[in-house]
Structures are given as structure tokens and as C-alpha cells.
Amino acid sequence: MSYKNDFPMFARFKKEKKPLVYLDSASTAQMPQCVIDAVREFEETTRANVHRGIYELSERATECYEGARERVRKFVNARRAREIVFTRNTTESINLVAYSLTKTFFKKGDHILISRGEHHSNFLPWQMIAKEKGIILDILELNKEGEIAIEAVKKALHPKTRLAAFSHISHVLGTINPIEKIRKTLRKRNILFLVDAAQSAGHIPIDVQKIGCDFLAFSGHKMGAPMGIGVLYGREEIVHTMEPFLRGGGMIRKVDITNTEWDELPYKFEAGTPNVSGAIGLEAAINYITSIGFKEIRAIDEKLTKRAFAQLKKIPGIHIFGPEDPRTRGGVISFTIEGIHPVRSSIHFQQDSSHRGRLRRITSNWVHPHDLATILDREGIAIRAGHHCAMPLMKYLGVPAVSRISFWVYNSVSDIEVLGRGIEKALRILA
Amino acid sequence: MDLLYTDIFLLHYHAPKNYGLHVPFDIEAKGENTLCGDSLTLRLTFARDCVQAISFESEGCVISRAASSLLFEYIKGKNRKEIKEFSPYALFELLGITLTAARIKCVLLPLETIQKGV
């Protein structure tokens, strides 16, 4: 069954009459009509500020907002709705935790453990507090397959490690990390555990109780919800001791000139007017995902990953990062292509006036991902190219940039075929 | 017409003019786009105030190398003031290409490097 028709983007956007082949869902997923409708319905019939007004409209808006929170709670199987904090995105969720824990939890000389593969959003907040507070940031190296190996975690732990933060699915390598096993190791040593679920939410089921993590962060916009709504799950026993990240309206119990009493969870972490319509959209996106079911979504990711590997491996000089077995990875595939290429250019140069005389051909050692992405864009194919906000990982892979394709429910085998033809065309131009 | 990835543009990528660093030279300048890994080294020889000879080597994408080839060929014979005052808009016109915002830095690398050097 094709889900493409659920997404108006594919009917509306054409690249010079060519249909859109969208292969950048790991960056942002497209939004289904039902989410657009839910947001619009709220704005047209229920819009008012939440937790403030005494009038009916405000009460209805509050009910919708809290209804969305309850829906998220159920989605990640948190024990209580007050463990769900609405943020802007994964980045803000992780910054919230890092900032807040420095106030009361971390001491000088403590260690934090993250991996080489983390997105900058799960890197820079820790780097910042490490510098400010005299904390040591330990970097776990990935194994050959690009995974976080459990033995490596055990080795990397320091007696003073107080928190570890890892991604659930790598946004570059696609690897699904064994976070439940990691949690077991950490628990024995009483180490807090944050999971960056930006790439897993909307792709595989998330159960915070089963994982046993203390924090879990994800973004709505990567799972069909609007941009600007994200989630932080925080285990109540931990978050109730934490200080607010932002201060302002709506998060207090009592304010006088010198002192303030914070509101209860989760409101003390939601200063200012929240993104209510975004939360409504997130609820609708969760309903959409649930209506399809993770079994089906996972089958789509696996099928397309398998097909994409078969297609990409035909390209001479290609190097695909991460494990090949689609069962051990998400629908995210990064690759580079070597430049010295057996596919000879079909282009016969017409010499311009500045090129009289003998030509000296300069070979490049690779096809620059930015060139590949620009040429594919002209075919209506959207891929990501660059450092993917993971410069430490790029350094480890030995390249400044990679090309990445990623899938969601609207993608099909024909998208992969179009991609294959697009890459062949690009190589005829570039090689 | 947009000349990006057309024959003429690609020719300047595959067989750039003034490629291969020369000695002797008066000035050497280096530029880098750390975000995409592009790097450029260029050497200039002056006769009075004008560029007499130019040579360069680079690593990077099609756009940055072809733009370097086209720009540096054009810049020969120009004086320091003319080089300093050469605007990015004039460069886009010279190259005959239109770029998305994310890739403008690719063509600015050779311009900024030579302007830094002179």
C-alpha cells in the first residue's frame, strides 16, 4: 500500500514537472494531510492561550494541549503525563537537561560519556557544560560496524561517570544502538542515561520503561508533525529535583520580588506560551503513525534499505557506511563515491576560447557530495549532503562530507530506481 | 542561460586553467571552507601593480574549482584595486551560473582567497 497520497507535498511540488523524490526524512519528514488538518482545525476553532484564561476557549485549548501530552505519554509508554515536557525539538530537550543538571547535579571532576557518532545536538551541550563546570567529556569510539558496542561502553566508563548520552539510531550510519543493554550496564553504576531518539521516533517503537532511560528526547518534525514541537521525557524521580531551564510566564506557583516557587512538573520546564498547535499536530502525527503501525513502517524501512543497498552497490567506487543487514539498522544510508571512475564521461568538451592548446586533466579523488546533491536536485531528487552536524564523526570516517538518503512511509522502490538513474547521470557529468 | 554543470563549466573543472603551483611567486594565499572540506592555494606574480602570472591548486567540488579556473584567468592583467573591488555579483555574471544559497560559498572561496592575498 502506498502512503504517498496522504502527503499533499507530493501532489503540489514539482521540479520542472518532475515529481519529487524525497529522500531526506532523517532531516525532516513530510507532513500528512491529517496533521495539517488537525493544526488548522485547532487554529480556526480552539486557539487561545493555555493554563491562563478563565473563559471557555482557553479551557478547551488547555484540554487539547494536555490531551496531546497524554497521547505522547502513551506513545513512549511513560508512567505519568508529567514526565512529558514539550520543547521545540531534540536539541532544546538535550540543552534543557545539560543546563539544568549543571545547576544541582554535576560537580567539578565528574565525567560524562557520549559517542563519536553523536549529532552536534547531543555533543555541544555536553561540551559546553564540560568547559564551564570542569567536567570531563569522554568520547566512546564506535566499532567497525559503526555501532556502540556494549564492551566498549564498559571500558569507557570512569568511576566518576555520572551521565551517558547516546543516540538510539545513528543519523549518519543508520545503526540501531543496543540501548537496553547499555542501560543495564549503566544502572549497575547508578549512571544517568539520556537517549537521543530523534531518528527512532516514528520509525521503531519507543518504550521508556522498557529502555529504562532517565531522559529521552525527540523532535516532532522528523515524524510528520510540524516544526518547532519536540519532546523531553524525564523520569519523575530525577526531573522533580531539577532546576528550570528557561524562566518566565506560566511556570511558577508564586513570585515575589526576591524569590520564586516553581510550578509542578512538567510546567516548570515550559516557560512562556508553548507551541500548542504544534503539540496538537504531534498528537495527530502519532495517531497517523499508530494507524499505519510500527510493524508496517519498519517493513517499509527494511525493504527500502535492502533495495537501496542493492542499487548503490552497483556503483563503482561507492563506499557505504554502517552495517548492511537491514534488520540491524534504520532507513538512513550514508555513502561517498570515489572520483576516479570507470564510467567514462559521455560528454565531449567543446573547447572554449580560453582552452586552446593542450589540456591537462586533473583527477579528483572523489565525487563531492555537494555536487551530487545539486545534480540530483535538478532531477527532483532531494538528498542530504554535508557533514550532517557530526563533524567529529566525519573526521573519524576520514571525509569532510557524505551523501545521505533516508526514508519514511511515503517512499517506494521506484524512488530508489529514480535515485539510481540520477546518480548514474551525475557520474556521467562529474567523472 | 545557466551554465552550471554544462560543458564549458565542466571543462574548467576537469582541465582547469593555471593549475599547478608555480615558482617563483610574489604572494601565496590559502583559503578553506571547513564545512565542506574545500581548500585552495594560489600564487601570484606581479608586474608593477598588475597580476602577471597566477597559479593554483585546490581540493573540492566542481563549482569551487571551475570558478577558480574561470576567475583567475579573468583576473590576469588586473591591478590590485580592480581585484579588491571585484564584487560577488560580477563573479556570478562572469561565471554565468545561478546557485542556491547553500552553494554560494563554493564560488566565493576563490574570490575571497585572492582578495585576501592582494
ipTM attached to this prediction: 0.87
Q: Which three cell numbers stand for residue A78?
A: 511513560
Beta-carbon contacts of residue B108 (< 8 Å; ≥ 6 apart): B88, B91
The pLDDT of residue A101 is above 80: yes
3-state secondary structure chain A: CCCHHHCCHHHHCEECCEECEECECCCCCCCCHHHHHHHHHHHHHCCCCCCCCCCHHHHHHHHHHHHHHHHHHHHHCCCCHHHEEEECCHHHHHHHHHHHHHHHCCCCCCEEEEECCCCHHHCHHHHHHHHHHCCEEEEECCCCCCCCCHHHHHHHCCCCEEEEEEECECCCCCEECCHHHHHHHHHHCCCEEEEECCCCCCCCCCCHHHHCCCEEEEEHHHHCCCCCCEEEEECHHHHCCCCCCCCCCCCEEEECCCCEEECCCCHHHCCCCCCHHHHHHHHHHHHHHHHHCHHHHHHHHHHHHHHHHHHHHCCCCEEECCCCCHHHECCEEEEEEECCCCCCCCCCCCCCHHHCCCCCCCCCCEECHHHHHHHHHCCCEECEEECCCCHHHHHHHCCCCEEEEECCCCCCHHHHHHHHHHHHHHHHHHC
Name the nearest CA neighbour of B57 among B86, B84, B19, B27: B19
B16 touches chain A (CB under 8 A): yes
Q: How far is A387 from chain B (nearest CA, A)?
A: 7
Contact at CB, B61 and A386, closer than 8 angstroms: no
Range with the poorest average pLDDT among A35-44, A268-277, A364-373, B24-33:
A364-373
Contact at CB, B10 and A359, closer than 8 angstroms: no
CA distance A139 to A154: 13
Q: How far is B48 from chain A (nearest CA, A)?
A: 25
Contact at CB, B14 and A349, closer than 8 angstroms: yes
| Multiple choice CATH, B7-117, 3.40.630.10, 3.90.1010.10, 3.40.50.2300, 3.30.70.940 | 3.90.1010.10
Contact at CB, B36 and A364, closer than 8 angstroms: no
Per-residue model confidence as pLDDT tens digits over A203-215: 999 999 999 999 9
Residues 355-374 in A contacting B (C-alpha not used; CB under 8 Å): 355, 359-362, 364, 368, 370-371, 374
Q: Where are chain A's structural domains?
A: 4-30+293-430, 34-290
pLDDT number for residue A351 = 46
**Chain B residues in contact with A388 (beta carbon < 8 A):** none
Instruction: Identify the closest residue of chain A to B105 by CA–CA distance.
Output: A370
Average pLDDT over every residue of A249-261:
85
pLDDT number for residue A363 = 66
| Multiple choice CATH, A34-290, 1.10.10.10, 3.40.640.10, 3.60.20.10, 3.30.70.141 | 3.40.640.10
pLDDT number for residue A181 = 95
Q: Which three cell numbers stand for residue A272?
A: 512562556
Contact at CB, A355 and B11, closer than 8 angstroms: yes
Mean pLDDT of chain A: 92
**Chain A residues in contact with B19 (beta carbon < 8 A):** 360, 362
Range with the poorest average pLDDT among A30-44, A54-68, A253-267, B21-35:
A253-267
- State which of A89-98, A354-363, A393-402, B90-99 shows the largest mean pLDDT: A89-98
The pLDDT of residue A350 is above 80: no
pLDDT more than 90, % of chain A: 79
pLDDT band at A243 (very low <50, low <70, confident <90, very high): very high
pLDDT band at A345 (very low <50, low <70, confident <90, very high): very low
pLDDT band at A348 (very low <50, low <70, confident <90, very high): very low
Under DSSP, the state recorded for B43 is E
Q: How far is B12 from chain A (nearest CA, A)?
A: 9
> Domain A4-30+293-430 belongs to what architecture?
Alpha-Beta Complex (3.90)
Amino acid at B99: L
The pLDDT of residue B2 is above 70: no
CA distance A29 to A371: 23
Beta-carbon contacts of residue A318 (< 8 Å; ≥ 6 apart): A312, A335, A336, A337, A338
**Chain B residues in contact with A348 (beta carbon < 8 A):** 7
Q: How far is B47 from chain A (nearest CA, A)?
A: 22
Contact at CB, A371 and B8, closer than 8 angstroms: no
pLDDT number for residue A371 = 92
A351 touches chain B (CB under 8 A): yes
Q: How far is B14 from chain A (nearest CA, A)?
A: 5
pLDDT band at A356 (very low <50, low <70, confident <90, very high): low
CA distance A99 to A245: 7
Stronger pLDDT, A94 or A386, i.e. the higher one: A94
CA distance A399 to A171: 16
Q: What are phi and psi of B53, to 5 degrees?
A: -140, 150
A375 touches chain B (CB under 8 A): yes
**Chain B residues in contact with A359 (beta carbon < 8 A):** 11, 15
Report yes or no: A286 and A72 within 8 Å, Cβ to Cβ.
yes
Minimum-distance CB partner of A400 among B36, B102, B103: B36
CA distance A77 to A75: 6
Beta-carbon contacts of residue A44 (< 8 Å; ≥ 6 apart): none
Cis bond before residue A342 (omega within 30° of 0): no
Pairs across A and B, CB distance < 8 A:
68
Instruction: Identify the closest residue of chain A to B73 by CA–CA distance.
Output: A354
Per-residue model confidence as pLDDT tens digits over B40-95: 999 999 999 999 999 999 988 899 999 999 999 999 999 999 999 999 999 998 88
Report yes or no: A175 and A323 within 8 Å, Cβ to Cβ.
yes
A395 touches chain B (CB under 8 A): no
Contact at CB, B15 and A399, closer than 8 angstroms: no
Per-residue model confidence as pLDDT tens digits over A307-322: 999 999 999 999 999 9
The pLDDT of residue A144 is above 90: no
Chosen for mutation from B12, B32, B36 (greatest number of chain A CBs closer than 10 Å) is: B36
The pLDDT of residue A346 is above 80: no
Q: How far is A347 from chain B (nearest CA, A)?
A: 7
Length of chain A: 431
The pLDDT of residue A246 is above 50: yes
Residues 62-101 in B contacting A (C-alpha not used; CB under 8 Å): 62-63, 65, 73, 100
Contact at CB, A364 and B59, closer than 8 angstroms: yes
The pLDDT of residue A226 is above 90: yes
- State which of A135-144, A258-267, A334-343 shows the largest mean pLDDT: A135-144
Instruction: Identify the closest residue of chain B to A398 by CA–CA distance.
Output: B37
pLDDT band at A95 (very low <50, low <70, confident <90, very high): very high
CA distance A407 to A94: 25
Dihedral of CA A413/A382/A18/A20: which sign? positive
A429 touches chain B (CB under 8 A): yes
**Chain B residues in contact with A27 (beta carbon < 8 A):** none
Beta-carbon contacts of residue A352 (< 8 Å; ≥ 6 apart): B8, B11
Q: Where are chain B's structural domains?
A: 7-117
Name the nearest CA neighbour of A238 among A208, A267, A213: A213
Contact at CB, A368 and B14, closer than 8 angstroms: no
Average pLDDT over every residue of B15-42:
91
Contact at CB, A350 and B8, closer than 8 angstroms: yes
Question: A389 an active-site residue?
Answer: yes
The pLDDT of residue A332 is above 90: yes
Per-residue model confidence as pLDDT tens digits over A270-305: 999 999 999 999 999 999 999 999 999 999 999 999
CA distance A423 to B85: 39
The pLDDT of residue A254 is above 50: yes
Contact at CB, A368 and B103, closer than 8 angstroms: no
